[in-house]
Amino acid sequence: MGDNKRKESRKPQNRAAETLDFQTTSTTAATSSPAIEDVDVIDDTSAVHHLRHRRGRPPKNLRQSRQNPNSLADEAHREQWRPQFGLGGGEGGTVDGRGGEGVLHPHGAQFLASVAEEEAVKLKKRGSDTKYVATVLAIGTECDIALLTVENDEFWEGVSPLQFGDLPALQDAVTVVGYPIGGDTISVTSGVVSRIEILSYVHGSTELLGLQIDAAINSGNSGGPAFNDKGNCVGIAFQSLKHEDAENIGYVIPTPVIMHFIQDYEKNGAYTGFPILGVEWQKMENPDMRVAMGMKPDQKGVRIRRIDPTAPESQVLKPSDIILSFDGVDIANDGTVPFRHGERIGFSYLVSQKYTGDVAAIKVLRNSATLKFNIKLKSHRRLIPAHNKGRPPSYYIIAGLVFTTVSVPYLRSEYGKEYEYEAPVKLLDKLLHEMPKSQDEQLVVISQVLVADINIGYEEIVNTQVLAFNGNPVTNLKSLASMVESCRDEFLKFDLEYQQIVILRTKVAKEATLDILTTHCIPSAMSDDLKS
């Protein structure tokens, strides 16, 4: 987690367009012989409620109408509640209706694919006009892989699985197969492996081993296999680098990550995720720092800056501990460990090879004394999660104030693909740096204000964090809803960031809520997950 390069919170005037482009095909299927060339998403979003798609500022015509105090009815008509995510928009972008591709699992009648979080998908083999309903068995949000199967035996007739190859070396030839933008038939591009390192997986907001290749990877390639010169699958295409000074930089999920996903599912019957070491660390390359920290000339390692309070590591590790080794492998002062053929790689690679629940041996230096700990690893929990994992967004409404929790899909829906530049700085700071203080902590905001007489003067509040209610800290949305529903005080007082407050009369607010819900055709004042 240490030394990550962060994007600036505000967009410069002449910023170069450098982004990692997540290829947002809806789902994928086999490209073995015969291949799958068409995939349809079964639209099952009728129950998916989402808060109104909105930028930080209201539309121009709406801002103008607010100058007239008699135009509240017109505002209420314009500022409609929008109860659904766009299809696929909840997990990383729009669905590519052209379909996708994938890799047939060599262990049996299963596919490895890159999918969105829809209920089901339909698959069609290359050269066939028949579509089959597939079932998603598991989705690996961190590694951008999913496991699918088709129960109809007819589908599997004539289909042969691919074989996985070893992790390729630099300059090894690779061939990427898929159905990218630019046509409807199968596409084959070739290149070489140009880099092997820990990469940022855009879709999962995590860092895992990845291959950089110079074969073209475009929208629609996602989920397609990458072959070596022996015809073995060495990875799955999943993203590319878009930059004005870069050409043909694509990324492939390599076989070690794929096998980790498969074995995790086979071992646990479900995907449990890639564990992390819940610390942020600092390099120890400066010799004066090493001396000051009590390190001997032959000792190397990295300094712990912060520890996730919810991680098991917080029980034994402390800030300023020097991590000397992980599972017996010495860590260099720059945070790398030996890799193959004299190469080096970030030591988070060692952590990613473990499974959730595994125990790791960690050796640290503390006050010039060497200590050893056995730590049970867990998957990462972010204050602002990278995914909703297919669940409808949570919301709570009182007197037209719409409360929800912040997630990456929510930020993307509010501020677009460039949310890392467009979203408020405070939210971005929490996204990049804030750690949860408890397992159930959420970042609760007022997402929007549905215009009504009762909340006049509060209409401009948007995406502002709620800190407390009637003097009690707000830790998550469910606790806020419970406190408001059970409140018997005369006033409802919400303390917001930037020292703002919102105050409403309790009785009037609760009575007005029903009328507001009816006006905006909202079926309930709270999402189903808050009712239990």
Q: What is the DSSP string of 228-295?
A: -TTS-EEEEEEEEEE-TT--S-EEEEEHHHHHHHHHHHHHHSS----EE--EEEE----HHHHHHTT-
Query: Apex CA 83: angle with CA 82 and CA 85, to 5°?
Result: 95
3-state secondary structure of 307: strand
% of the chain with per-residue pLDDT over 70: 76
pLDDT value for 161: 81
Same domain, 284 and 344: yes
Q: Is residue 310 part of a domain?
A: yes
Q: What is the C-alpha to C-alpha distance for residues 38 and 486, in angstroms, rounded to an integer?
A: 52
How sure is the predictor about 97, in pLDDT bands with cuts at 50, 70 and 90? very low
Burial of 154 (0-12, 13-18, 19+ CB in 10 A): exposed
| Closest C-alpha to 278, from 307, 321, 316, 319 | 307
In a domain, 57, yes or no: no
Torsion of CA 422, 427, 433, 438, to 10 degrees: -150
Using only C-alpha atoms, what is the Rg of the chain? 25
How far separated are the first and last CA of the chain, in Å rounded? Answer: 36
pLDDT of residue 342: 83
Instruction: Please check the confidence at residue 122 and state whether its pLDDT lies above 60.
Output: yes
| Domain co-membership, 105 together with 213 | yes
Q: In what order do the strands lie in the sheet with 111-113?
A: 36-42, 120-125, 131-140, 145-149, 111-113, 102-104
Q: Let me know how long the chain is.
A: 532
Is residue 64 in a domain?
no
Same domain for 154 and 217, yes or no, is yes
The per-residue pLDDT of the chain, averaged, comes to 79
Catalytic site includes residue 341 = no
Is there a domain that residue 368 lies in?
yes
Classified as helix, coil or strand, 407 is coil
Tokens standing for 290?
A: 């090493």
| pLDDT value at residue 240 | 75
Residue at 136 is within a domain:
yes
> Which residue has 């790398």 as its token pair?
336
For residues 110 and 233, state if they share a domain. Answer: yes
User: Phi/psi at 379 (nearest 5 deg)?
Assistant: -75, 160
Q: How far apart are CA 390 and CA 393, in angstroms?
A: 9
Q: What are phi and psi of 427, to 5 degrees?
A: -65, -40
Q: Can you read off the two tokens belonging to residue 304?
A: 């712990």
Sign of CA dihedral 24, 25, 29, 33: negative
Which of 487, 481, 443 lies closest to 465 in space, CA to CA? Answer: 443
Higher pLDDT, 371 or 128: 371
334 labelled catalytic: no
**Which residue(s) pair with 469 in the sheet?**
472, 494
The pair of structure tokens assigned to 34 is 């015969």
Strand ranges (E), 458-521: 464-469, 472-473, 491-496, 501-505
Q: Answer whether residue 83 is part of any domain.
A: no
Q: Does 183 reside within a domain? A: yes
Q: What is the pLDDT of residue 50?
A: 34
Chain segment 318-335, per-residue pLDDT in tens: 999 999 999 999 999 999
pLDDT of 429 above 70: yes
Kindly provide the b/e burial profile for residues 357-377, where b requires at least 16 CB atoms within 10 angstroms of the residue's own CB: eeebebbbbeeeeeeebebeb
Higher-confidence residue: 433 or 54?
Answer: 433
Q: Are residues 260 and 294 in the same domain?
A: no
Q: What's 495's domain CATH number? A: 3.20.190.20
Please, what sign has the CA dihedral across residues 170, 175, 177, 183? Answer: positive
Residue 79, both tokens? 């500022």
Based on the domain organization, do 253 and 300 belong to the same domain? no
Which of 247, 268, 289 is where one domain is finished? 268
Residues 131 and 226 in one domain: yes
Comparing C-alpha atoms, which of 142, 242, 227 is closest to residue 192?
A: 227
> Domain range spanning residue 353?
275-379
Last residue of a domain, one of 318, 351, 379: 379
Distance CA 515, CA 520 (A): 9
pLDDT at 264 over 50: yes
In the predicted structure, residue 26 carries a pLDDT above the cut 90:
no
- What number is the average pLDDT over the span 80-93? 39
CATH number of the domain to which 340 belongs = 2.30.42.10
My answer on whether 369 and 427 are in the same domain is no
To the query of whether residue 107 is one of the catalytic residues in this protein, the response is: yes
Give per-residue pLDDT as tens, 381-420: 889 998 887 788 899 999 999 999 999 989 999 999 889 8
| H or E element that contains 512 | helix 506-519
Residue 63 maps to a domain: no
Q: Which residues, at least 6 apart from 21, have a Cβ–Cβ distance to it below 8 Å?
A: 202, 219, 239, 240, 241, 242
Torsion over CA of 7, 8, 9 and 11, rounded to 10 degrees?
-110
Co-location of 191 and 331 in the same domain: no
At residue 139 the predicted structure's pLDDT band, cuts being 50, 70 and 90, is: confident
Q: Among 222, 352, 479, 527, which one carries the catalytic annotation? A: 222
Domain end among 268, 296, 315:
268
Find out whether 8 and 422 touch, Cβ atoms under 8 Å: no
326 and 247 within one domain? no
Number of domains composing the chain: 3
Q: Do 153 and 118 reside in the same domain of the chain?
A: yes
CATH number for the domain spanning 152: value is: 2.40.10.120
Residues 104 and 124 in one domain: yes
Alpha helices by DSSP H, 281-397: 287-292, 348-352
Cis peptide before 106 (omega within 30 of 0): no
The gap from C-alpha 404 to its chain's centroid, in whole angstroms, comes to 18
Q: Which of 107, 245, 341, 532 is catalytic?
A: 107
The model's pTM is 0.76
Asked if residue 92 has pLDDT above 50, the reply is: no
For 173-218, what is each residue's pLDDT tens digit? 999 888 777 777 788 888 899 999 998 888 777 889 999 998 877 7
Round to whole Å and give the CA distance between 428 and 9. Answer: 7
Q: Which of 273-277, 364-368, 378-382, 412-416 has the lowest mean pLDDT?
A: 378-382
The residue annotated as part of the active site, out of 21, 38, 144, 495, is: 144
